[in-house]
Structure 1
Amino acid sequence: MRDQELREHVIRLRRQGRDDALVEATAAGGGVPKSVWQTISAFANTDGGLIILGLDEQTDFGPVEGFDPQRILDALHSGLDDSHSADPKVLPIPPHDPRHADVDGAPVVTLRVGALHEVPGAVMPCFVSAQGIERGSYKRVGDADKHLSPYETHLLRSRRSPDRTDREEVTGTTPADLSSELVGRTLDGLRHRSRALTGIDAGDSLGGLLRVNAVSSAGVPTLAGYLAIGVYPQQEFPHLVIDVAVHPGTEKSRDPTVRFLDRQSCDGPLPQAVDDAVRATLRNLRSRRVVDGATGIDVPEIPAEVLREAITNGVMHRDYSAFARGQQVAVDIFADRVEVKSPGGFWGDRTKENVAEGYSTARNENLVRLLTVVPMPDGRSTVAENQGSGVPLMVTAMRQQGLPAPDYSTSTIDHVVVRLARFGLIEPDMEAWLDGLPDREQRERAHDAALALAKLNGHVSVVDLRNNLGLDSDDCRAALAQLVADGLLVGMNDGPYVLTDLQMTDSVSGARWQILSLLDGSLPKSIAEISEATGKTRSALRPLLRDLVEQELVVATAPPQSRNRKYLLPPRR
């Protein structure tokens, strides 16, 4: 790791007063603590990360006196050794890189942990050996290491295994539960476009359905057949619908009295459900009139083909195992975006980083195959293509309309989430924020886009910038490297990069003013009193108060180590 990157990480930790999703710091004065092995498991099972040993969060991430880096390095090498006679602390061993480094002139040890999902053929999840796979598997959530749920463990264990759930028989159903109209149109289409029905008489519908695995050899509809061409699949699976909900703000309300602005449960066979969901979403989006000569068309703020692709992917690639049949594909319409959320997480080698690369892997092979031939209600198209072109199509269509590329960054182990912005990337508020950063006039479009994405999503990578701007990867790397050199971003290689100074976010700026509004020049307040009045934790307040003191906007009554330290406004001059 470069010294500059380490310094920037430490500066960020000190400013925010806590660890985060990218970095975990621990004192390790008495050796490698057990929690480090949990963090290694968590980073390996999510997106990787950095562990810094030798910094104490309780002393504002200061170096630990008497820290023995060689002892720590020896323990890490031993615990991450998977040779025949070794006793590794975690299994399987993730990609890792332990190194000696310095912070404030004192020794520390850094351990870069790679994500296992990026390793071809890797077995998952990574777990703490002494705890076993069920109790010792973790994930990174913010600055914490959380146990994987049984469902998340199941998903990671089966992520690269053939999934034949969609070929299971739907017990208690018969071919009569399939739509004769959809069956006829599907088989007719197959005869014209494929050799799938070679040797099967035109009148042998059951033989045709068997050939495409819509029914089993016993003549019972399979899950794939029942969902794609069933009369009413929700008779057996009431929760397998697409739920479209319109929310009044930018987040889901926790207030049960706040009603949805609109809501529709889209059911029926998947072609009809997808079509209904797209129409329900478009109904709740704005459109603009585009005039061409004497005619004009209404253009929705998010292209219809993008919505259709996102929703289709949700129903086509979701998990249909017994674990997830109580979960719906959710389409949430917020004031600033549309989110499509589907259960099951990414499957195979697909990740939120490579989903736009233009090739497809299918968890539900038979359902996907059926949806490429089952007609949509309009009869002019099928539900899907399955050529790997769907996400690149979405990226292109969004970019052509001046919108950010589809954002998969909030996807988790157990859900794929794609966010579709309703406004351009650099809208007026973002423009004003960019204007407030140093040397705006010297930055190029790519620099502004990278900063805007970092602010909007919490991070930015080469892939994000390439998808949004259509630039060559090397040009994206050059733009990000320039922003690192300018002190605005921190990161390395292809990312992720994050804003160097978290005070550049509106929420922190607002918190600073909130603190200043509470204080006066005569009655000092302790951090406990400020915490109670603002609702913010002490760890969140410490870096803000320290900066306010450094800027002479607030006066501290005692040294930082003192329990009697309080704060007040400086005397008027």
Structure 2
Amino acid sequence: MSIIDVPEIIALIRETGTDNPHIALHPAATGLPENLDETISAFANMPEGGILILGVRADDATCEAVGVWDIRAAQEGLNFTAQKKISPTVQLGDIELAEVEGKVVVSCLIPPQPSDLRPFRTTRNGAVHIRGGEGNYELSENEVQALQHQQGIPTHEREPVRGAELERDLVAELVDRYLAAELENSPRIRSLGREQQLIRTNVLDGETGNPTLAALYAFGVHPQQFLPTLTVKTHALPEENPRQGTPLINPREFNGPVPDLLDQTLAWVATQKPPELPAEAVREAISNALVHRDLSTPSRSLFIQVTWTPGGLSVSSPGGLWGLTVSQLGNAAARTRNPILYRMCATITSEAGHPVIGSPSLGVTQMRRSLAEAGLPGPRFLDGVTRFQTLLPTMPRLSAADLDWLRGLPGSETLSAAQRHALVAMREGETISDRSYRREFRVDASTARRELQELLNQGLVLIDALPRDTLAGEPRATVYRLAVDGNPAPGVEKALDAPMMTAAAEKFPVDTPEEEAPAPAAEPSPAAQGGSRRLSQDEKDNLVLEVLRDARDPMSRVEISELTALSLGQLNPTLAELRDRELIEFTEPARSRRQRYRLVRR
């Protein structure tokens, strides 16, 4: 049995039209790619490794199997590159063959490598790479040093801050609160003098008498006097996928010790009016960034970035995860990069009454629970090795009527946020495919199959088969439709604005510039803003034709969906039908990731 499902990966990339930092595709139709060493070493430097596939070409226009020039030579080339062209040697996982569309491709699993061996460098130029949204990313020397500092147990928080003084630069009330908690738990130091107590509890450095970095950051009057980048910068963006150069909305920079930074950042987030996001999840994400950021010398030039878009909240902090991987978050024993700072912050609350550290054992678990209780997808965590991002997605709230309807379904108490929204979408007459479920909610293939199978097992959905795959132009597609009475009650407004579901991962800005998104070509059709009644197929056809008729340029599915208010589940069959009737046509090859639609010229 194959470990790597190559056809599934190709189908997912075709459907989403986005790059995956955990997967690398190379054509290899005429030989090994020149940057193979960069790709393998980049995966080796990532905490969870990745998958490399030879024999698949992917660019802005297509994603298709082209095969490898020589199967045996490709397999040997992978092993030779890992052993001879990268230092230290990279241990490869399984190398497998798969036939896709009549072509043989070679796939290779690069498993997580021991962290104490990083960084892995290419031997030809000594460069260090990691994987990012645009492929391989070469680290600067400062970033390489930050990566090296993640090895072993960090001690940077204990370093003295030269020039800082206890009485002048620390807030006495915060220091006293922390010291009292430490003395209560450590009876042996109660009889010591105050200065020794402060040294023993890491408030002061024993040799210089200066406050430690942790103490200044947690208790300082103005830590940024000595460490200017221990700040939080915030801004909002007007759209989910902004063009490069889009002006920032309400940009701010906050200073002060950790509790003040927490208060100011939470207050700023509140001004963005995110009613869907539970306050508990927001506080946990920001607190984690403040307390677990990398304090090593190379990372002190970096700041925490908080960004709000219509799709949700992004919190990015310097340094990758320490001591565990993304898949272990909430499932393994907690580890902290800055244990002294953590202890200090656990004893204090902000002036607004927010605890800096919530329940130590429930952090990520409680974040997930609060989002689930709000009917939202769980948080997404992205470990970029030199930065760590927490993404909290928002979705339109389900109406009270829809929640009542959901509560009446069998097994409703166990439904995930994706399942709830999918059922409401199907209640409005839509169909959901395995691939659209993955795309809309950015879940992996196994999660999508499991959650759809659960709905099937509970008798909530039925399976249909479409004559063609309307999403990728392939021969067949399985779709799911509601199996129970889904007629909305009279007068009930639609719970969700169309499109019914949007991909959470597409809602967040990333640290590297994205390709500019095309501007809408026309205003929304007045007919698209009607009530919640079901539209006939003729009405859907007319909406699409009207929008394309008014458009200046060919349009993507997403643009058509936004302007017609048809969800993708309603739109995809409509586009297929209009193509069958030769009323609209593709502007790109059928398998293109950049597909556009236009009216057929008569």
The 8 Å contact of residues 554 and 598 in structure 2, kept in 1 or not, is answered as no
Work out the CA distance in 2 between the residues paired with 1:559 and 1:180: 68
Partner of 1:455: 440
Cα gap change, 1:486 to 1:10, in 2 (>3 Å): farther
Query: What does 1:335-484 correspond to in 2, within 5 Å?
Result: 335-349=310-324, 351-357=325-331, 359-377=333-351, 383-384=356-357, 387-409=360-382, 411-423=383-395, 424=397, 425=417, 440=432, 454-456=439-441, 458-460=442-444
Query: What does 1:299-314 correspond to in 2, within 5 Å?
Result: 301-314=276-289
Cα gap change, 1:258 to 1:557, in 2 (>3 Å): closer
Work out the CA distance in 1 between the residues paired with 2:219 and 2:589: 72
Partner of 2:101: 104
Residue 77 (structure 1) aligned with residue 79 (structure 2):
yes
Partner of 2:144: 153
Partner of 2:90: 93
Partner of 1:272: 260
Cα gap change, 1:92 to 1:487, in 2 (>3 Å): farther
Work out the CA distance in 1 between the residues paired with 2:600 and 2:283: 58
Partner of 1:321: 296
Work out the CA distance in 2 between the residues paired with 1:453 and 1:13: 11
**Residue type of the partner of 1:101?**
A
**Residue type of the partner of 1:190?**
E
**Residue type of the partner of 1:239?**
T
Work out the CA distance in 2 between the residues paired with 1:247 and 1:511: 15
Work out the CA distance in 2 between the residues paired with 1:559 and 1:225: 60
* CA offsets 1:171-209 (integer angstroms, 9 cap, x no match): 0112122222222222223333x11x523348x332221
**Cα deviation, residue 238, structure 1:** 2.8
**Residue type of the partner of 1:191?**
L
**Cα deviation, residue 10, structure 1:** 3.9
Work out the CA distance in 1 between the residues paired with 2:239 and 2:585: 38
* CA offsets 1:79-135 (integer angstroms, 9 cap, x no match): 334xxxxx3546341442212332333433222323x2xx55552233323332xx1
* CA offsets 1:57-89 (integer angstroms, 9 cap, x no match): 6996666589321222233233334xxxxx354
Residue 214 (structure 1) aligned with residue 214 (structure 2):
no
Partner of 1:186: 178
Cα gap change, 1:480 to 1:451, in 2 (>3 Å): farther
Partner of 1:470: none
* CA offsets 1:368-404 (integer angstroms, 9 cap, x no match): 12112234436x7753257342111111122222222
**Cα deviation, residue 342, structure 1:** 1.2
Residue 125 (structure 1) aligned with residue 109 (structure 2):
no
**Cα deviation, residue 356, structure 1:** 2.1
**Cα deviation, residue 419, structure 1:** 1.9
Work out the CA distance in 2 between the residues paired with 1:65 and 1:451: 27
The 8 Å contact of residues 22 and 49 in structure 1, kept in 2 or not, is answered as yes
Work out the CA distance in 2 between the residues paired with 1:6 and 1:308: 40
The 8 Å contact of residues 68 and 105 in structure 2, kept in 1 or not, is answered as no
Work out the CA distance in 1 between the residues paired with 2:291 and 2:297: 16
Unmatched 5+ residue regions in structure 2?
398-416, 467-477, 480-500, 507-517, 523-543, 556-574, 591-596
Residue 162 (structure 1) aligned with residue 162 (structure 2):
no
**Cα deviation, residue 412, structure 1:** 2.0
Work out the CA distance in 2 between the residues paired with 1:18 and 1:332: 21
**Residue type of the partner of 1:400?**
E
Partner of 2:51: 50
Work out the CA distance in 2 between the residues paired with 1:487 and 1:354: 37
**Residue type of the partner of 2:380?**
D
**Residue type of the partner of 2:101?**
D
Cα gap change, 1:155 to 1:570, in 2 (>3 Å): same
The 8 Å contact of residues 79 and 90 in structure 1, kept in 2 or not, is answered as no
Work out the CA distance in 1 between the residues paired with 2:30 and 2:371: 53
Pick from 165, 188, 191 the counterpart of residue 198 of structure 1: 188
Q: Which moved more, 1:141-150 or 1:306-315?
A: 141-150
Work out the CA distance in 2 between the residues paired with 1:120 and 1:558: 44
The 8 Å contact of residues 13 and 19 in structure 2, kept in 1 or not, is answered as yes
**Cα deviation, residue 360, structure 1:** 1.8
Partner of 1:492: none
The 8 Å contact of residues 213 and 366 in structure 1, kept in 2 or not, is answered as yes
Residue 140 (structure 1) aligned with residue 131 (structure 2):
yes
Cα gap change, 1:516 to 1:354, in 2 (>3 Å): farther
Cα gap change, 1:184 to 1:419, in 2 (>3 Å): same
**Cα deviation, residue 253, structure 1:** 7.2
Pick from 217, 222, 237 the counterpart of residue 227 of structure 1: 217
Unmatched 5+ residue regions in structure 1?
82-86, 288-300, 466-473, 489-498, 521-528, 532-544, 561-566
What SS class does the counterpart of residue 324 from structure 1 fall into? helix
For normalisation by structure 2, the TM-score amounts to 0.66
What SS class does the counterpart of residue 94 from structure 2 fall into? strand
**Residue type of the partner of 1:370?**
M
**Residue type of the partner of 2:131?**
R
**Residue type of the partner of 1:164?**
T
The 8 Å contact of residues 92 and 124 in structure 1, kept in 2 or not, is answered as no
**Cα deviation, residue 52, structure 1:** 3.0
What SS class does the counterpart of residue 331 from structure 1 fall into? strand
* CA offsets 1:140-177 (integer angstroms, 9 cap, x no match): 33353222233443333332322111111100112122
Work out the CA distance in 2 between the residues paired with 1:15 and 1:333: 27
* CA offsets 1:227-259 (integer angstroms, 9 cap, x no match): 112222122123322334344444567557664
Over aligned residues, Cα RMSD in angstroms?
Answer: 4.9
The 8 Å contact of residues 185 and 375 in structure 1, kept in 2 or not, is answered as no
The 8 Å contact of residues 152 and 413 in structure 1, kept in 2 or not, is answered as no
Cα gap change, 1:558 to 1:388, in 2 (>3 Å): closer
Cα gap change, 1:282 to 1:259, in 2 (>3 Å): closer
Query: What does 1:252-271 correspond to in 2, within 5 Å?
Result: 259-260=249-250, 264-271=252-259
Work out the CA distance in 1 between the residues paired with 2:174 and 2:379: 32
What SS class does the counterpart of residue 408 from structure 1 fall into? strand
Cα gap change, 1:517 to 1:359, in 2 (>3 Å): same
What SS class does the counterpart of residue 117 from structure 2 fall into? coil
Query: What does 1:518-533 correspond to in 2, within 5 Å?
Result: none
For normalisation by structure 1, the TM-score amounts to 0.68
What SS class does the counterpart of residue 339 from structure 1 fall into? strand
Work out the CA distance in 1 between the residues paired with 2:576 and 2:210: 69
Cα gap change, 1:166 to 1:571, in 2 (>3 Å): closer
Partner of 2:414: none
What SS class does the counterpart of residue 34 from structure 1 fall into? coil
* CA offsets 1:462-482 (integer angstroms, 9 cap, x no match): 6x88xxxxxxxx966965999
* CA offsets 1:334-356 (integer angstroms, 9 cap, x no match): 3332222211121222x332222
